[in-house]
Amino acid sequence: MDILEAIAARRSVRKFKHDPIPEEGIQTILKAATQAPSGKNQQPWRFIVVQSDKRAEMVKVMRKGMEKIKAQGKDIGSSEGTVRAMEEAPVTIFVFNPHGTAPWLAHSIDQMFNDVVNLQSIGAAIQNMALAAQGLGIGSLWICDVFSAYEELREWLDEEGQMVAAMSFGYADESPEPRPRRPVSEVARWV
Ligand SMILES: Cc1cc2nc3c(=O)[nH]c(=O)nc-3n(C[C@H](O)[C@H](O)[C@H](O)COP(=O)(O)O)c2cc1C
């Protein structure tokens, strides 16, 4: 698939078929992630693949975090819809920045600069995963609602560093229309 076609055809998928993704597909997606550019070639990413019977545990942990937030009287935003998509998707990959710390902790200026650079690198890796999946005919959903269970998921995954996002993958059971985009003329200017 042509790269521009893949960019244009990619959608956030929230309904997945039960069909599993072959191991080779997951490896291809992870390889694409590691081929992303990164500041000083630091490759500040770690990937944790959750699939099979571990998915139910993941969903339970996510719901536990959401309940805690609700009990504090706070809004869980779109987390309910997201956790349903995670429940359906055969594979979810969590992405960590091993050099990062929790976003709400006090940061030194150096740490903040490193985080800005490393998060850009990780964003490139995540987008590579979405496009690689697209090329393989696999749907994906980029997820930051995992922050509704930040501590719970981090502990369950037993991973050091900063949890940045998750991405769920599976064969799409829907064909979402493109979401509206601001025209280039509105978001770019020439000097
Ligand atoms: C950083 C980031 C975080 C996102 N987090 C979520 C999420 O937690 N749950 C969800 O359903 N969609 C999430 N999305 C998907 C966006 O809602 C989606 O990309 C946007 O609405 C545009 O739609 P499209 O991806 O189909 O073009 C996220 C996307 C990005 C880039």
At how many degrees (to 10) do helices 79-88 and 54-71 cross? 170
Q: Which domains does the chain have, with CATH numbers?
A: 3-175 (3.40.109.10)
The pair of three-digit structure tokens given for residue 122, joined into one six-digit string: 């990780």
Closest C-alpha to ligand 1, atom 22: 179
Q: pLDDT tens digits, the chain, 191 residues: what are they?
A: 799 999 999 999 999 999 999 999 999 999 999 999 999 999 999 999 999 999 999 999 999 999 999 999 999 999 999 999 999 999 999 999 999 988 888 888 998 999 999 999 999 999 999 999 999 999 999 999 999 999 999 999 999 999 999 999 999 999 999 999 999 999 999 99
91-97, strands of its sheet edge to edge? 46-51, 91-97, 162-170, 139-143
11 lines ligand 1 (CB under 6 A): yes
**Which of ligand 1's atoms lies nearest the C-alpha of 13?**
26
Q: List the one residue out of 62, 95, 58, 98 whose CA is nearest residue 78.
A: 62
Q: How far is the CA of 145 from the centre of ligand 1 (A)?
A: 9
Single pTM value for the model: 0.97
142 Cβ inside 6 Å of ligand 1: yes
